Amino acid sequence: MMRILWNSFKKGILSRKFEKVSLPPGYEKTGGELHSLIKKKFGRSLHIREVAAGSCGACESEIISAGNPVYDIQRFGVDFVASPRHADALLVTGPVPRNMELALKRTYEAMPGPKFVVTCGDCALDGGAFRDSYYCAGDIGKIVPVAAHIPGCPPRPQAIVEALLLLIGRIN
C-alpha cells in the first residue's frame, strides 16, 4: 500500500505534465470544450459502447489509449461502458464482416434512445483496405444509421477527442 501511494505521488498527474512535453498544444482546450458541451447536452456524461466489427486491433488500442492517464478522456465526461443498455453512442470499428452484421444490429437495437452511431477508422468508413472482400459489408450505413466518422488508420487518441467535439457541437 505504501509503495503504491509513494509511487503515485512521485508520478503526479500525467495528463498535465505530458501536455507540456508532447501532446499537441490544443488537446487540453479541445477537451475542455468537449467537457462543457457534454455537461450541457448530456447531463455531464457521454456513455459510449464500443463494438469491434472486424478491426485489426489498432483502432481498439487507440480507443483504449484515449483512456490512459495521459489523455484521460474520462475527465472530459466520456465513459466507455460494458453494455449497450447504458450507452448514448455506439463507436464502431472495422469493415463489418458478415459474421458481425447481426451482432452489430442487435447491439444497436439494445441501446435506449436517443442514440447515435460513430464509426472509427478508415475500415469502418467504406471497408478501407477490405473494401473488395467477399465477406465484408463495406457500408455500415446499410446496417445501422451513422452520424459521424473519425478518420485515421488508426485515429490517434487526440483525433478521437476532436471528432467527438465536432460531432457533439452539431447535436441539438
Partner 1 sequence: MNIEDILKELTSGEKITPDATRWLAPEEVHIEVRPGDFRNACLFAHHKTGSPVSSLFAEDARAADGCFYVRCVFASRHEGRWLVISARLDAAAPEFDSLANDIFSAAFFEREVSEMFGIKRRGAFDTRRLRLHTEVWPEGFYPLRKDFRPPEKCGGTGLDYAFRRVEGDGVFEVPVGPVHAGIIAPGHFRFSAAGEPVLNLEIRLGFAHRGVEKLFEGKIPEAALAFSEFVDGEAAFAHSLAFSMAVEKIRGIIVPGERQRARAVLLELERLYNHAADVGGLATDVGFSFPAACASVIKEGLLALNEKLTGSRYLKSFNRLGGAALPPSAAADIGAGLAAAEKDFLVLKETLYGSVSFMDRVEETGILPHKAAVELGVSGPAGRASGIAADLRADFSHLYKNAGFKPAKQEKGDVLARLNVRVAEFEESARLIRKFCCPQGQGGDAPPAAARPQSGCALGWAESWRGPVLYWVRLGENGLVERCKVTDPSFQNWEGLAQAVPGNIIPDFPLCNKSFNLSYPGNDL
65 binds, among partner 1, ligand SF4, none (CB under 5 to 8 A by kind): partner 1
Give start and end residues of each alpha helix (H) in 12-78: 14-21, 27-42, 58-65
Q: Does position 119 bind ligand SF4 by CB under 6 A?
A: no
**Residue 138 contacts residue 8 (beta carbons within 8 Å):** no
172 binds, among partner 1, ligand SF4, none (CB under 5 to 8 A by kind): none
φ/ψ of 92, rounded to 5, equals: -115, 130
**Residue 60 contacts residue 101 (beta carbons within 8 Å):** no
**Residue 89 contacts residue 62 (beta carbons within 8 Å):** no
Segment near ligand SF4 (CB under 6 A), from 5-13, 16-24, 52-60, 137-145? Answer: 52-60
Q: Which of these, 31, 35, 43, lies nearest to 160 by C-alpha position? A: 31
100 binds, among ligand SF4, partner 1, none (CB under 5 to 8 A by kind): partner 1
Task: Scan for cell 505521488, then name that residue.
Answer: 9
Q: Does position 128 bind ligand SF4 by CB under 6 A?
A: yes
Instruction: Identify the three-state secondary structure at position 154.
Output: coil
Residue (91 or 165) nearer to partner 1, CB: 91
Binding mask 67-106 for ligand SF4 (x = CB under 6 A): --------------------------xx------------
83 binds, among ligand SF4, partner 1, none (CB under 5 to 8 A by kind): partner 1
Segment near ligand SF4 (CB under 6 A), from 9-17, 25-33, 100-108, 118-126? Answer: 118-126
Cα gap 55→66, rounded to integer Å: 17
Q: Does position 15 bind partner 1 by CB under 8 A?
A: no
